[in-house]
Amino acid sequence: MSIWKKIIVASVLGLLLYSGIYIYAQQSDGFKFVQQAILKSHDIQQHVGNVQSVNLSLLGSYDAKQIGSDQVVTMSVEVVGTKSTRTIDVKATLKDDLWKIDNASLDGGSISLN
């Protein structure tokens, strides 16, 4: 197999792996909790207007870790509103079967999702 075929095969496999992780993350409980928090946030509405969609950022990050009995997720989320589209970085924790937002930032500044 030529080097170009190997590069193409590796690129396709990488794209499929990334797509699978993206779809899995978008269906996770952590993402769904963050999505609902964003939809209810008055601070977010002030920045983007009425929220039309909330999705994981295609070029952003997503990480889920198990720390003891707690689950911690960090993610970059793209929020599309009637005024603008913005990316929000969020960290949330599942502890004792309850999710909570640890912190969220927009343009490097803290924003409330509670």
Position 22 scores a pLDDT of 64
Mean predicted lDDT score pLDDT of the chain: 89
Q: Which residue type does 114 have?
A: N
Q: Which residue type does 30 have?
A: G
pTM of the model: 0.82
Mean pLDDT of 12-33: 76
Domains of the chain: 29-110 (3.10.450)
DSSP string for residues in 37-88: HHHH-HHHHHHHSSEEEEEE-TTS-EEEEEETTEEEEEEEEEEEESS-EEEE
Mean pLDDT of 24-45: 89
Q: Kindly report, residue by residue over 63-110, the tens digit of the pLDDT.
A: 999 999 999 999 999 999 999 999 999 999 999 999 999 999 998 899
Q: Give the Å distances, CA to CA, from 88 to 19, 29, 35, 102, 114.
A: 21, 18, 11, 13, 14
Mean pLDDT of 15-21: 69
Q: What is the dihedral of CA 15, 18, 19, 21, to 10 degrees?
A: 160
Position 21 scores a pLDDT of 67
